[in-house]
Amino acid sequence: MNMRDRTGRKKGIGVLLLFELLYKAMFLMILYLLFYGAFRMVLRIMGYSYLTMENMFQFLKNPITLFVLFGLIIVCTLFYLIETVSLIIFYQGYVKAYKVSVVQILFTGIRETLCLLKRKGRAAVLLFSFVNAAVTLAPMIAMFAARFRVPAYIAKVVVEQVTGLGVVVFFVLLCLFINFLGIYSLYYCVLGETTFLEGFRKSTKLLKRNLGRFFARMFSANLILWLCYLIVYAIVLIVSCYIIYRTKPERVLVAAMLTIQDEVALYMGILVTIMGQIVNYAVLSAFFYQYGPRLLRINQVEKLQEQIVYEDAIRRMETAGVDRHLGLQSWYTKVTLLVAVFVAGFHIYSIYNALRNGSLADKETLFGTYITAHRGASAEAPENTLEALRLAMECMADYAEIDVQLTQDGVVILMHDPSLWRTTGQRLTVSGVDYGLISELDAGSWFHKDYAGTRIPTLKQAIELCKGKINLNIELKAEKSEKRNRELVEKVVSMIWEYNLEAQCVLSSISHEMLEMVKELDREIKTGYILAFAYGNFYNLDCVDFYSIRYNFVNENIVRKLHSLGKEVHVWTVDTRSGLERMKQLGVDNIITDNAVLAREVVYGDRVRKGFFKLLGLVRQ
């Protein structure tokens, strides 16, 4: 190989990485938009507020759900098929040191996929691509499944059933076997223009002739890949441990580890999937080029790539009477740049929105049990103050629960009691004085002298502090006056709109009427009905998305019943380890506690490997 070929191939790898980055980003964008929209649509049609383990099978049996899932599977399969065809074409050109651009990879892959689907056996092509995608994307799928409660729950139920486990093992082995035998079927279809069944037969024959060589190459490549992955993973964990140890207080180290461990595992799963796809197709293509037939169709592919780059530009330049060598951008390049800008804009906005509003996706019960700091970190700072909210963030709580009321002059402030006596020592009521007076009161000395001079904050101040950092559970405190209650609801909802806080807060109240007022203003804001005890037929109130129940009255029947109706179960106020363990076993969706650090350790502690904490111990030495 001469120097020019080596330089061209180095550039080719850079082009491939750029293509993969663009294509994966485009795929994630479209999949997210389709999944999120379809998921919301089906839930709304079925009348569910949330998807839970108990109503999941009813959800999946619905014909609309099946139709939507089938559509999503087809879309994902097509995306994966186009990517596979693109990689096949790229690597066959790469081994010949043929230079290609992102535009040539993308549009050649799309054109060849369309040609492939026009031939006989398109259903077999799509079915094989689905199986191939499931096998190839297994690490990433496993990471997502482990992160979300429902897939993990399904896997647990299946494993516990001997018959179900046998079916799953058989299905997995069958998929692996089919994927192995047909690994080169798409190569023959794309580069040799055969039917899929003929390509599958030739793929099987090629592997039988070179089985030992094939396994040796694939094993060695994947061994090196996994060794590199483990090294990178270990480095990331060590750096994460060091950063957490240096930036977090001693009492929240475990909670911080529990939070970062999931994120590290998820993104490493995505990384190993992407790199595994690139490396494996490189090995497969090199093997096919060496031991497979000399298919002349690759020359036709090269001509097609040249045509894609120049055909529109040449036509326009000839029409305009200018020299075709000026290199004006073709229609294909413009479309690619437009797509790249749009995809980049979407992801930048998503990241910005995540930082601003707290999450890229709504926090449904799919994501597990969440921890809410009661009145902020009220065990360590004066309740319902900015100091308590800051500590709630430090303690790694998912939500902070706050209570809001109206002052006499209509300012929304944070305060639990109708009287100011307990927290300020003043025999005044919140509704009986203006905010000007309340803002001067000391709301911290009663808790500890270190907090002397702490003020009672407004809801606006609390939102500005918490936005993009922690979710809020805003409890609407009811008064006897319906007019005042409506005013409080309207002002809180207006503030949610003003700060674009819909995805980062829920509203709760002991007043069912106030929750109805919220839904009259905005059906999309999530509402919770607070119950001091649970008895009677309280389950299916239209204006309620979740029930917040005193934990002593929560049992398995209540959790299952509410989950079957698509409602979440929040419990309050759980501060003991035994109480937290019981709520964890019941599978509640949110635990409101005065000890967020302990709650996170109990709820999520079994998901962290001991080795993770051994790393922390090494860092601390």
37-84 tens-digit pLDDT? 787 788 778 777 666 666 667 777 788 888 888 888 898 899 889 989
Dist. CA 568–CA 572, nearest whole Å: 13
Catalytic residues: 374, 416
Q: Please say if the pLDDT value at position 361 is more than 50.
A: no
Dist. CA 32–CA 44, nearest whole Å: 18
pLDDT of amino acid 364 = 45
pLDDT of amino acid 552 = 87
pLDDT of amino acid 386 = 96
pLDDT exceeding 90 applies to what percent of the chain?
31
Angstrom distances, CA of residue 52 to CA of 145, 383, 502, 571: 15, 32, 21, 16
Of the candidates 265, 260, 268, the one whose C-alpha atom is nearest the C-alpha of residue 241 is 260
Q: Please say if the pLDDT value at position 1 is more than 50.
A: no
pLDDT of amino acid 4 = 44
So what CATH class is 369-620? alpha beta
Conformational region of residue 595, where left means phi above 0, alpha means psi within -120 to 50, and beta covers everything else: beta
Of the pLDDT bands very low, low, confident and very high (cuts 50, 70, 90), residue 323 is very low
pLDDT of amino acid 307 = 56
pTM: 0.71
Q: Please say if the pLDDT value at position 336 is more than 90.
A: no
Tokens 């550039």 -> residue: 11
Dist. CA 562–CA 265, nearest whole Å: 32
The mean predicted confidence, pLDDT, of the chain is 80
**Boundaries of every domain in the chain:** 3-229+261-309, 369-620
